[in-house]
Amino acid sequence: KPVVVIVGRPNVGKSTLFNRLVGKGVAIVEEEPGVTRDRLYREVEWCGREFVLVDTGGVVESPESPLEVAIRRQVEQALEEADLVLFVVDYKTGVTAEDQAIASMLRRTGKPTLLVVNKVDKFDPPPVLSDFYALGLSTEPIPVSAAQGLNVGDLLDAVIDRLPPEDREEERPQAEAIAVAIVGRPNVGKSSLVNALLGEERVIVSDIPGTTRDAVDTFFTWEGQPYILIDTAGLRRRSRIKEEAERQSCLRARQALRRAHVAVLVLDGAEGVTMQDKRIAGLIEEAGRAVVIAVNKWDLVPSSRKDAPRYLEALRRELYFINYAPVVFTVAPEGFGVTQVLTEVERALANARRRVREQELWEVVEEAQLRNPPPRVKDKRLEIYRAYQVAVEPPVFLLQVNDPELMTPYYRKYLENQLRAAFDFTGTPIRFVLRRHK
Ligand code: GDP
């Protein structure tokens, strides 16, 4: 989908416009975590055309603080991805030096740009826009009032007009973005991994308290598949006190997991699995998310322990409750293993979305019962009458039984293993729900 990026100096009404455009168009259909709820990227549909609308922070040309440098860099990155730029200026204040600076930045990028003059609260008499030609953009200024929703439809028409032609779009895979949460305790290399994934330094690293945005998500595409990295800014906010930092990383993980399709649990390969790693792994499992384990700092693992199969076996024992997670060995700063993480993320998500037909499922469940009869309490044996899949992400299997109380954790695990042997559920938890058959 084409990407439309909103830029402009602070206070011109970018966020208001963003919300207005999203509200005018049809916001995306699916209630997918991470896609609908994140603030910076929204899919918008207008007159049958879809595009991704991106809201950026403020742009400041003569930066006074590191945060502004960072935001500006982020805007530059956003501009790289943009198929169309909406440059927002303020009718009430007129053209400022900052606007001029942004305009010259935009001229340099040569991206197709629409000049949006916001805060035009009256269209009768028609607003005087001649001043805005001074910005030297080869485009008619489009007056709107984002706050009142005036002329926003016309703006959307103009956006659609300027998007790259549809057929070019068809060539691109129309894949939905995969929302990925990179989680792990402090210092294992999460930020390094994110930077390696992006191929350049894109994560905002400013540490000014109170000024960083709450959750900045980062968007990139790899081999035609769009990804959203959730809360990349949060990776940098950390306390100097170890316990506090760990508590924060748990909190962050919990929030990021809510919006993610897939979690990447980053471990420090040299340090091995700690309590804190287990805690975070537990959160991932509880959240029901697909998961990939990145054993980072593989370069620091002493050669005596660098036997991958044996290392894996030990790791799986430690993290037995997510023993279905694929493991990738990485050296983030060198980019080693990094694209393989993405390959596994895609695979894990595909497996989390796998639907098994009732017939095939029943064959496996029946076979499993023959091989290893269900548990019995006194004279009563668990009987399974029917099994079918009721959900994906994660897959949930409903078992109709004579008495749910008869199920044991051991037998549950056994059934899970049988299903995993029959179908590829690598990287995803699976659940059972038992219902008494009447
Ligand atoms: P975060 O707190 O999880 O985001 O960790 P960082 O990405 O900030 O990394 C912590 C430190 O470990 C930094 O000094 C990194 O340069 C270093 N580091 C990260 N990954 C690796 C790795 O694979 N190998 C080595 N040798 N160092 C790494």
Closest C-alpha residue for ligand 1 atom 10: 187
In sequence order, the 6+-apart residues with CB closer than 8 A to the CB of 296 are: 188, 189, 192, 193, 266, 267, 268, 269, 330, 331, 332
**Is 332 near ligand 1, meaning CB less than 6 Å away?**
yes
- Single-letter code of the amino acid located at 37: R
Nearest in space to 384 (alpha carbons), one of 367, 431, 423: 367
Domain end: 149, 171, 193, which one?
Answer: 171
CA of 272 relative to ligand 1 center, distance in Å: 14
Q: How far apart are CA 157 and CA 178, in angstroms?
A: 29
What are the DSSP calls for 50-77, one per residue? EEEEEE-----SS--SHHHHHHHHHHHH
Nearest in space to 127 (alpha carbons), one of 155, 104, 150: 150
pLDDT at res. 259? 87
Confidence of residue 70 (pLDDT cuts 50, 70, 90): low
Give the SS3 label for residue 401.
Answer: strand
Above 50 in pLDDT, residue 400? Answer: yes
**Terminal-to-terminal C-alpha distance of the chain:** 49
**Sign of the torsion angle spanned by Cα atoms 372, 376, 379, 381:** negative
Lowest mean pLDDT among 239-253, 320-334, 423-437: 239-253
Q: Do 113 and 214 lie in a common domain? A: no
CA of 193 relative to ligand 1 center, distance in Å: 8
Name the token pair of 432: 């059972």
Whole-angstrom Cα Rg for the chain: 26
Closest C-alpha residue for ligand 1 atom 9: 189
Instruction: Pick 326 or 147 by higher pLDDT.
Output: 326
Q: How far apart are CA 387 and CA 36, in angstroms?
A: 33
Q: How far apart are CA 44 and CA 238, in angstroms?
A: 35
Task: List the binding residues for GTP.
Answer: 8-15, 55-59, 118-121, 184-191, 231-235, 296-299
Q: Do 298 and 370 lie in a common domain? A: no
In sequence order, the 6+-apart residues with CB closer than 8 A to the CB of 336 are: 298, 299, 329, 330
Q: CATH number of the domain that 376 lies in?
A: 3.30.300.20
**Is 331 near ligand 1, meaning CB less than 6 Å away?**
yes
Q: Do 342 and 219 lie in a common domain? A: yes
**Is 50 near ligand 1, meaning CB less than 6 Å away?**
no
Lowest mean pLDDT among 24-33, 147-156, 247-256, 359-368: 24-33
CA of 297 relative to ligand 1 center, distance in Å: 7
Nearest in space to 156 (alpha carbons), one of 126, 117, 102, 114: 114
Q: How far apart are CA 25 and CA 168, in angstroms?
A: 22
pLDDT above 90 covers a percentage of the chain that reads: 46
Give the SS3 label for residue 200.
Answer: coil
Lowest mean pLDDT among 91-105, 240-254, 380-394, 420-434: 240-254
Confidence of residue 72 (pLDDT cuts 50, 70, 90): low
pLDDT at res. 236? 64
Q: Are 392 and 352 in contact (CB under 8 A)?
A: yes
Mean pLDDT, rounded, for 37-44: 60
Above 90 in pLDDT, residue 43? Answer: no
Q: Do 259 and 327 lie in a common domain? A: yes
pLDDT at res. 165? 74
Closest C-alpha residue for ligand 1 atom 19: 189
Q: Do 135 and 24 lie in a common domain? A: yes
Closest C-alpha residue for ligand 1 atom 27: 297
Instruction: Pick 71 or 375 by higher pLDDT.
Output: 375
Q: Do 160 and 209 lie in a common domain? A: no
Confidence of residue 294 (pLDDT cuts 50, 70, 90): very high
Q: Are 12 and 95 in contact (CB under 8 A)?
A: no
Q: Do 211 and 275 lie in a common domain? A: yes
Q: Do 294 and 423 lie in a common domain? A: no
Q: How far apart are CA 402 and CA 375, in angstroms?
A: 12
Beta bridge partners of 384: 401
pLDDT at res. 27? 44
Q: Do 136 and 238 lie in a common domain? A: no
Q: Do 163 and 290 lie in a common domain? A: no
pLDDT at res. 360? 94
**Mean pLDDT of the chain, nearest integer:** 83
Domain end: 171, 200, 230, which one?
Answer: 171
pLDDT tens for 171-213 read 444 568 899 999 999 889 998 998 888 875 455 444 444 333 4
pLDDT at res. 26? 47
**Which residue range(s) make up the domain with 118?**
3-171
Domain end: 350, 368, 384, which one?
Answer: 350
Confidence of residue 138 (pLDDT cuts 50, 70, 90): confident
Mean pLDDT, rounded, for 415-431: 96
Closest C-alpha residue for ligand 1 atom 6: 189
pLDDT at res. 161? 86
Beta bridge partners of 52: 3, 43
Q: CATH number of the domain that 11 lies in?
A: 3.40.50.300
Mean pLDDT, rounded, for 112-137: 89
Number of H helices, E strands in the chain: 12, 18
Q: Are 102 and 27 in contact (CB under 8 A)?
A: no
Above 60 in pLDDT, residue 30? Answer: no
Mean pLDDT, rounded, for 310-333: 94
**Is 194 near ligand 1, meaning CB less than 6 Å away?**
no
- Single-letter code of the amino acid located at 9: R
What is the total count of domains within the chain?
A: 3
Q: Do 285 and 369 lie in a common domain? A: no
Element (H, E) at 49: strand 49-55
Asked whether the ipTM of the predicted complex exceeds the cut of 0.85, the reply is: yes
Q: How far apart are CA 406 and CA 380, in angstroms?
A: 8
**Is 296 near ligand 1, meaning CB less than 6 Å away?**
yes
Q: Do 167 and 183 lie in a common domain? A: no
DSSP secondary-structure letter at 331? B
